[in-house]
């Protein structure tokens, strides 16, 4: 039997401490221990991107990332990008452009988009398609998703209320 390890990290702006198994996945900690169910468990093998979260600003697949890898880092989930009931510009663009269908892929797509817009605030359609290559959606056909991302890129970034 392996001993649990204690990790500390910031998730969505809140410092947390958890005891985790050495092989425990970040996805399980987020959903089962912290009850943040916006991050979706879909394929479990890193093929769909639905479980994408930001780890120190970089998109990672939480179904493949060990919880131990979050120790001392900053984790942002889909719940962490809105300001109360005010949607983030990317979330709002997805709603406005009809890019939301069943909802399973959307959190991962939005988190991937957040990373894209941090790296490249004015992406071309080709840039968007390339960046999303690890995110699968079976409902939308991607056109509305691409339109939503281009729309979000054209909108000013909202400042957090604490800034």
In b/e form, how buried is each residue of 113-123, taking b as 16+ CB within 10 angstroms? Answer: bbbbbeeeeeb
Mean pLDDT on 29-57: 95
pLDDT band for position 158 (cuts 50, 70, 90)? low
Mean pLDDT on 35-58: 94
Supply the pTM of this predicted model.
Answer: 0.90
The answer to whether 41 and 47 are in contact (CB under 8 A) is: no
pLDDT at residue 40, rounded to an integer: 95
CA torsion angle 53 57 55 96 (round to 10)? -10
The per-residue pLDDT of the chain, averaged, comes to 92
Which residue ranges form the domains of the chain, and what is each CATH number? 5-80 (3.10.20.30), 89-154 (1.10.150.120)
Mean pLDDT on 45-65: 96
Q: CA neighbours within 13 Å on the CB side: how many for 45?
A: 2
Q: CA neighbours within 13 Å on the CB side: how many for 8?
A: 2
* pLDDT tens-digit map of 90-146: 999 999 999 998 888 999 999 999 999 999 999 999 999 999 999 998 887 789 999
pLDDT band for position 156 (cuts 50, 70, 90)? confident
Other Cβ atoms closer than 10 A to 13: 10
- Cα angle for residues 35, 59, 70 (degrees, 5° grid): 55
Mean pLDDT on 44-58: 95
pLDDT band for position 162 (cuts 50, 70, 90)? very low
Residues in contact with 150: Cβ distance below 8 Å, sequence separation at least 6, in sequence order: 123, 125, 128
pLDDT at residue 1, rounded to an integer: 62
């Amino acid at each position: 039997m392996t001993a649990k390890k204690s990790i500390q990290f910031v998730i969505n702006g809140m410092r947390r401490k958890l005891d985790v198994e050495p092989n425990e996945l970040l996805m399980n900690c987020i959903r089962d221990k912290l009850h943040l169910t916006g991050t979706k468990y879909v394929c479990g093998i890193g093929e769909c991107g639905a479980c994408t979260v930001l780890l120190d600003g970089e998109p990672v697949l939480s179904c493949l990332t060990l919880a131990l890898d979050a120790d001392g880092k900053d984790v942002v989930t889909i719940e962490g990008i809105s300001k109360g009931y005010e949607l983030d510009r990317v979330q709002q663009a997805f709603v406005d452009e009809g890019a939301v269908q069943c909802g399973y892929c959307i959190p991962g797509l939005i988190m991937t988009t957040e990373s894209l817009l941090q790296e490249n605030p004015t992406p071309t359609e080709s840039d968007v398609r390339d960046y999303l290559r690890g995110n699968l959606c079976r409902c939308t056909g991607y056109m509305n998703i691409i339109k939503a991302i281009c729309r979000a890129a054209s909108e000013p970034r909202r400042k957090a209320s604490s800034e």
